[in-house]
Structure formats: C-alpha cells, structure tokens
Amino acid sequence: MNIKDTQGIGMTSMRTRERMIGRLIEQGISNQQVLTAIRNVPRHLFMEDGFAHRAYEDNSIHIGHGQTISQPYIVAKMTELLVDQRHLGNVLEIGTGCGYQTAVLAQLVDNVFTVERIRPLQKKAKDLLWGLNIRNISYLHSDGGWGWEEKAPFDAILVTAAPPEIPKKLLEQLAVGGIMLIPIGRDPRDQVLQRVIRTKSGYDIESLATVSFVPFLSGKG
C-alpha cells in the first residue's frame, strides 16, 4: 500500500517518527511488519490543531468529543498481539476515533470494518484515511456493541474502548479460530486487556495486562 502523505512531512517530523520507532523496539515491539506499518503512518495528521507537535510522544492525546488517541506503544502492542504472524482477512475494529489505529491495521490485513458511535469523529477519520489513499476500510456509524452483523464472521476483532464485560454480539461474530482483543472494566484505573480465541467448542479467554482506555458507551453519540 502506498500511503499518500499529502501534507508532506518535514525532516524534523521524519526524525521524530524514527525516534518513536526506536522507542517501540526498546519497549519490546519486534514484529517488523507492525513496525513498518507504524513508520508509514503520519501520526501528526491525526491530531487536533495544536497537538501535532506532540504526536510522536508516547502519550495518549485528546482528539475531541472527550476521546483520546491511544499512545503509540498500546497501538503497536495491540496490533502485534492481533496479527501474531498470521494472515488476517476481515477485521472488525470498534472505536474508530481519529482513525490512527485503523490506518496501521489496514496495512497488515485484507479489510478493516470500523465502527464509531460519534459521527463527527467518524467523518473526520474517513476523510483523512481516504486522503492518505487507504482504501481497504469500511465505516459504520453505530454502537459497536452490535458488531457488524452483515460482514461477520471476522478473523479478528479489536476493541479500543472498555465495556464492563464482553458484548455477546462480538463473541458471536468472531470466526472459529479468530482472535479478539478487548479491554474490560469501567474504571480506567482498573481495566484488563483480554484475549479471546474462538475454538470449535467455545472461547478461550486470557487476561494479558492492565490497560487504560476510554469507556465503551452504548448508543450513538
């Protein structure tokens, strides 16, 4: 995929992006395809005005409407865990937000189906990703708790907002052999990233790490 960096990127920004990659490697990210995908995405374009200069810091940053873009390490780690050396066809993402994670994922899988409940965020992400020439993404304005029935089953599901428990519809829409990563827990100081693998007879669920995501809210925003 050839990402079109329409607004251009100065050498300073290229260097800070390279530094971010170096930090991710130090933090233990080792999948070369994931690192390349991250290197390709101009993260500063996903920031709100005034925040672009902080784009390559290892922090979560506000993207408006009370939401945040995840810190680079979390995006990298979630992507690495999801891809895990396997080929993924159709992937469902819940919580498009500014579309940064979507852009990274879209380079590594066949198709991304992404759901966002806040319309203006969805529109902004869609315009930006289209402008970057990333075309293997479909968008839905909906409550992600319903998943995306017509496009199911999915080889992988990535959820970037935390519900109190795993939505039943998402479990149903996971293909046998498929993987879901989902943060669980209402309190942002007390959430656990869970990995769900669907087997022929049920689901294997494992807690991987403590994390901090915005809450998963029901209904359209």
Residues forming contacts to ligand SAH in the complex (CB under 6 A) are 63, 67-70, 94-95, 97-98, 100-101, 115-118, 121, 143-145, 160-161, 214, 216-218, 221
Q: Min. distance of Cβ 88 from ligand SAH in angstroms?
A: 17
Output 178 or 216, the one with its CB closest to ligand SAH.
Answer: 216
138 annotated active-site: no
Report whether 169 contacts 191 (CB < 8 A). Answer: no
Contact 105, 80 (CB under 8 A): no
**Residue with smaller CB distance to ligand SAH, 12 or 150:** 150
Marked catalytic residue, from 13, 30, 60, 70: 70
Give SS3 for 93: strand
Contacts for 9-17: CB closer than 8 Å, 24+ residues apart: 9/42, 9/44, 13/42, 13/44, 13/56, 16/55, 16/56, 17/42, 17/43, 17/56
Q: How far apart are CA 180 and CA 91, in angstroms?
A: 10
Furthest CA-CA distance within the chain: 53
33 CB-near residues (< 8 Å, 6+ apart)? 83, 108
Report the nearest approach of ligand SAH to the CB of residue 55 (Å). Answer: 12
Smallest separation, CB 200 to ligand SAH (Å): 29
Residue 102 to residue 161: CA distance in whole angstroms: 14
Which residue lies nearer to ligand SAH by CB, 80 or 116? 116
For residue 146, the minimal CB distance to ligand SAH (Å) is: 8
For residue 175, give the nearest of 68, 74, 90, 58 by alpha carbon. 90
CB-nearer residue toward ligand SAH: 155 or 213: 213
Please list the active-site residues.
70
